[in-house]
Amino acid sequence: MKNLFTVLLMAAAFTASAQYSADENFSGRLRAGVGYTHDFPGLHGLAENIEYSFPLNEWLQGSAGLRRVQTAGYPRTSTVKEYTKATALDVSLLFVPFHTDRAAFRVGTGYSFSFYKTRRTYPVYASHTDPQATPDIAWPVKDASGRVSGLSLTAEYEYNITPQISAGAKVSVAKAFGSVVMAGPILGIKL
pLDDT in tens, 48-105: 999 999 888 888 999 999 999 999 999 888 888 999 999 999 999 999 999 888 999 9
CB atoms within 10 A of CB 158: 22
- Cα–Cα distances in angstroms (integers) from residue 183 to residues 15, 48, 72, 123, in the given order: 29, 10, 17, 32
The whole-model pTM stands at: 0.76
Residues recorded for the chain: 191
Does domain 2-8+24-116+143-190 sit in CATH 2.40.160.20?
yes
pLDDT in tens, 2-51: 665 565 556 555 555 544 444 444 568 899 999 999 877 788 999 999 99
The ranges assigned to domains in the chain are: 2-8+24-116+143-190
